[in-house]
Amino acid sequence: MVVKKKDVSVEDLVAGPVKPSLPPPPAVVPVSRPIMTNRPAYRKPYFAPHSGASRGRPVVRPYRPQSNFNGYVDNRVIPDADLPTEEVSGMLELSADGQGLLRPDFSPTNKDIYISSSQIRRFNLRPGDLVTGPARQPKDNERYWGLLKVEKVNGVVFEDGLKRPEFDKLIPIFPNEKLKLETDKLKLSTRVIDLVAPVGKGQRGLIVSPPKAGKTTILKDIAEGVAANNPDVILMAVLVGERPEEVTDIRKHVKGEVAASNFDESAERQTRVAELALERAKRLVEQGKDVVILLDSITRLARAYNLAIPTSGRTLSGGFDPVALYPPKKFFGAARNFEEFELNGKKTKASLTIIGTALVDTGSRMDELIYEEFKGTGNLELHLSRKLAERRIYPAIDIQRSGTRQEQLLFSAGDYEKIVTMRRMIDVLDQEEMTEVMMDRLRKTKD
């Protein structure tokens, strides 16, 4: 008998049921690639502001005002206070960017002191203010001395809340107080001026003179008379385009401040000296002072402005630009007498007197134009005569053409009547005889 073999299954071989399953998928390994990053941009090394290190100079620590715990910032003190200092003072001259220089003299020198704009705003400083304080010497990369602290302004210790008037807001009036000029019996020039063209506080006077007529001598006599008879008046002499020897002579005779620029200096420097002197006079007037400025001359000042100011494209007679007439007129027009105003709780008076010279008969049409523009702006005119100077009659004052507006305010009623009578008596004489008779009579009297 044949035995049939049984088929063997998988379950029989493994002794159990079989579950169908798929093999696990193979693991995916990512491809390793180099990390891509952006290239860093080049950065310029940092330097402190205005340090100059990028130009090869040492780094300077930037200025940071000292402060306390109350949040108050003291702008009066700047760094480098531990350096050797020196007490300095100078007149403030502002620049276009708000910073300034303190000039010990009216003209630029190597001892000028730099003052920051923060200090100018802190103390409400104005051009022409006399500022005093300690300053340090300039460093290797600096040009000027540096002011460390403002201690005094115009000789007064600064106080917060202290107000002072503005020059342009004061009320002008006619001169009503006479400045006596007579000093000696033999000084006939000042004696004649006291009679025929008296000078008052706040006068705007013009000495019209041809060349070599003695205008500089008369200016020196006026300066001597003001200093001798009016010690409270501050005297200043402003010389524009003058000869160096004349400047030295004026410095010896004038007992006051002298702001001078020689004829060989640039027109810009001549105008800057005159402007700083005027600003200084204005600051003194704001303090209640009487100031007298002797200007020699308006003609040269106008010529300097004609060269310094950019041209406007228009031209007057003699090649003069009409725009150049405004600054000298502003200078001359600053002279005025003021009503009483309040200063530090008190009523006070002040005045600014300007006596300038104008050149005529020079053969220049420009000089004639300048005189014609200024002859109606003053309230005093003193004319010098070429004929009298050629005959060696000094002072060569043309009495008939000289005079002062509103002169009755400068004399008492009795003295004014005598002046009018004298004028009527000598008016019948001609110009030369009039002056000679006046000189002879003055020599025979004491005063």
**CATH number assigned to the domain comprising residue 220:** 3.40.50.300
Rounded CA gap, 420 and 439, in Å?
18
Mean pLDDT value of segment 254-264: 89
pTM exceeds 0.85 for this model: no
Residues 210 and 259 in one domain: yes
Q: Specify whether 134 is located in the same domain as 93.
A: yes
Q: Are residues 331 and 360 in the same domain?
A: yes
Residue at 1 is within a domain:
no
pLDDT of residue 67: 47
- Final residue of a domain: which of 112, 134, 162? 162
Which of 119, 135, 162 corresponds to the end of one domain?
Answer: 162
pLDDT at 53 over 60: no
* Residue 20 in domain: no
Q: Please give the pLDDT value at position 232.
A: 92
For 153-182, what is each residue's pLDDT tens digit? 888 887 655 678 899 999 999 999 999 998
How many residues are given for the chain? Answer: 447
Q: What is the pLDDT of residues 201-251, one digit of tens each?
A: 999 999 999 988 888 889 999 999 999 999 899 999 999 989 999 999 999
Residue 134 lies in a domain: yes
Taking each helix axis from N to C end, the angle separating 413-426 and 431-443, rounded to the nearest 10 degrees, works out to 130
Is the confidence at residue 390, as pLDDT, over 90?
no
Q: Are 351 and 202 in contact (CB under 8 A)?
A: yes
Instruction: Write down the pLDDT at residue 32.
Output: 63
Range of 112's domain? 73-162
The percent of residues above 90 in pLDDT, for the chain, comes to: 30
Does residue 316 form part of some domain?
A: yes
pLDDT at residue number 440: 84
pLDDT band for position 20 (50/70/90)?
low
Report CA dihedral (149, 107, 354, 173) to the nearest 10 degrees.
-30
Query: Into how many domains does the chain fold?
Result: 2
Going from the C-alpha of 65 to that of each of 11, 51, 136, the distances in angstroms are: 97, 17, 17
Q: Name the band, by pLDDT with cuts 50, 70 and 90, for residue 433.
A: confident
CATH of the domain at 146: 2.40.50.140
Whether residue 182 sits in one domain with residue 157: no
Please say if the pLDDT value at position 311 is more than 90: no
